Chains A and B, each alone.
Chain A
Amino acid sequence: MSEDILVDIQDLHFSYDGRPVLAGINMKIPRGSVVAIMGGSGCGKTTLLRCIGGQLRPTGGMVRLGDQRVSEMSHAELYGLRRKMGMLFQFGALFTDMTVFDNVAFPLREHTDLSEEMIRDLVLMKLEAVGLRGAHALMPAELSGGMARRVALARAVALDPMLVMYDEPFAGLDPIALGVIGQLIRKLNDALGATSIMVTHDVHESLMIVDYIYFVSQGRIVAEGTPDEIRGSTDPFVHQFVHAEVEGPVRFDYPAPTIVREFLGSRAHG
């Protein structure tokens, strides 16, 4: 990896109600790259993203963004930093009382003193980049899931952020929309000179567009590598995940007493 690190995470711990969610995460994300964080549902990957964005304060360890320590910033400093960040939420999180145009214009109107003409040009350019310039007058309720995700993407990059975070960008999309979003993430990252962190469990789409992948399980990084390394990996966890196998180190069943005990109860011991 190159030496120009944008996001540096060292020994990150996070507990919720005394239950550890993240238990010693170390990551270095180089500037300009697209990195995927993968793992099963509930493994702590969204929590990790929220620690990077400063929405959650870690219980231990450090998150550094450029030369600033996110984990120790005040509320005002965090807001200053977040102007240079964009985030795409799982279901877009568009403002339902505003048109597509106003949604994308929102961060520009809140944070800049640009004239309405300038805002109009910028918004239409961002919408053009996601192929939805023609949809600028629609309301979010009139969009399909994939279109809403693309509008949210245009909104996330409206201020040309240095870091874009994606929370499950592929969840619930049809294969075509999924491919479109995947390509857009890569294209926008390279065009803006940004850095992207993507939390997902869609292995195949991610392997096509990212530079580096981390696998997280039970709050720890269990495997990492470039897409080629991941494809050729013999690690049992990676193998199970990439090939979607039921049997492997990741348990499919929720912890439960044994079947004999459950159905026969005390008779099993009698």
Chain B
Amino acid sequence: MAESVSSIRKLGHVVVDRIWRLGFAARFLVAVLRYSGPSFRRLPLTLREIYFSGVLSLLIIIVSGLFVGLVLGLQGYETLQRYGSTEALGVLVALSLTRELGPVVAALLFASRAGSSVTAEIGLMKATEQLKAMDIMAVNPIARVVAPRFWGGVVSMPLLAALFSAMGVLGGWLIGVVFIGVDDGAFWSQMQSGVDFRYDVWNGVIKSFVFGIAVSLIAVFEGYDSVPTAEGVSRAITRTVVTSALAILALDFVLTSFMFRGTS
């Protein structure tokens, strides 16, 4: 009896703790937005973070996008062949990428490549008292360190997702048209007529923008809230990658269920 009471109590503690942390993260987001002025007034601060988060993620995004496109091309061709509609390969590849794979896979890659490094950097700055030093110099660390990294991620994410999709389409074209021999004109014209800009492309952009906000917030929050020790920072980095992945997939479901009503 006593044991079950104690395990219920433990469960309660864990739940309350999680909810409390969620509330803290929400307040943190408000603080980041409130102190975002310098990120826009002093553009070099944010541009530097766009470079570190966005430009340095280019290689992984380009290579992964290309491979995902190559695989989509192969799998798509095999399936479409059964129904004799291989000329629809272009539209299949483009829709898969712009609606789902582009935003989701790019965000997952972005969380592990850029999100983890932002968490590590802020966590280590905290562990070595650099944030405290800034605060005592009357420089707000949220305005000077956190906000530029947040906005750097928010700006980079949709651009990286767009690039991922473009590389994927290129990969699908390489496999389908160049190697297998699907008709070039059919590949592009089917894509052009089958992909709606507002319905497919724009919704994908909105998704990647939302993922960018989620991943960037998780990365800066986990870094800022990390326990300032070697172990604490390493745990924070793990939490960034795990929480980001879950957030991306959960948000993807929510957004998809609102956006795509099914075609009649």
Range of interface residues on chain B?
10 to 19
Question: Which residues of chain B in 96-128 are interfacial with respect to chain A, using CB atoms and an 8 Å cutoff?
Answer: 124-125, 128
Are A79 and B133 in contact, CB atoms less than 8 angstroms apart?
no
CB-based contact A87/B130 at 8 Å: no
The answer to whether A110 has its CB under 8 Å from any CB of chain B is yes
Do A80 and B138 touch (CB < 8 A)? yes
Which of B125, B128, B136 contacts A87, CB < 8 Å? B136
Check if A89 sits within 8 Å of B132, measured CB to CB. Answer: yes
- In the complex, B78 has a CB within 8 A of chain A: no
Partner of B128, one of A85, A91, A106: A91
- The listed residue with most A CB atoms (<10 A of its CB), out of B124, B125, B136, B144, is B136
Q: Which residues on B sit within 8 Å (CB–CB) of A85?
A: 136
B140 at the A interface (CB under 8 A): yes
Q: Of B129, B139, B140, which is within 8 A of A89 by CB?
A: B129
Q: Quick one: which of B140-173 are within 8 Å of A by CB? A: 140, 144
Contact A82 B138 (CB under 8 A): yes
Q: Which of A235-255 contact B (CB under 8 A)?
A: none
We find that the number of chain A residues with CB closer than 8 angstroms to chain B is 20
Give the CA-CA distance A111 to B140 in the complex, in Å.
12
Interface of B (DSSP majority class)? helix
Interchain nearest-CB distance for A73 vs B (Å): 12
Residues of A within 8 A of B135 (CB): 55
Indicate whether B254 reaches chain A with its CB closer than 8 angstroms. Answer: no
A261 interface residue (CB < 8 Å to B): no
**Residue numbers in A under 8 Å from B1 (CB-CB):** none
Specify the chain B residue showing the minimal Cβ separation from A49.
B136
Which residues of B are found within 8 Å of A53, using beta-carbon distances?
136
A110 interface neighbour in B124, B136, B139, Cβ under 8 Å: B139
Q: Is A115 positioned at the interface, with any CB of B under 8 Å from its CB?
A: no
Question: In the assembled complex, which residues on chain A have CB atoms less than 8 Å from the CB atom of B130?
Answer: 93-96
CA distance A106 to B133 in the complex (A): 11
| Residue A99 interfacial (CB < 8 Å) | no
Looking at the assembled complex, report how far the CB atom of B43 sits from the nearest CB atom of chain A, in whole angstroms.
15
B interface with A by C-beta (< 8 Å): 124-125, 128-130, 132-133, 135-140, 144
Contact surface of A with B, Cβ cutoff 8 Å = 53, 55, 78-80, 82-83, 85, 87, 89-91, 93-96, 106-107, 110-111
Q: Can you list 23 pairs linking A and B with CB atoms under 8 Å apart?
A: A53-B136, A55-B132, A78-B138, A79-B138, A80-B138, A82-B138, A83-B138, A85-B136, A87-B133, A87-B136, A89-B133, A90-B129, A91-B129, A93-B128, A93-B129, A95-B133, A96-B124, A96-B125, A96-B130, A106-B137, A110-B139, A110-B144, A111-B138
- Sorted nearest first, the 8 A-B pairs with minimum C-beta distance are A93-B133, A82-B138, A93-B129, A79-B138, A87-B136, A83-B138, A89-B129, A110-B139
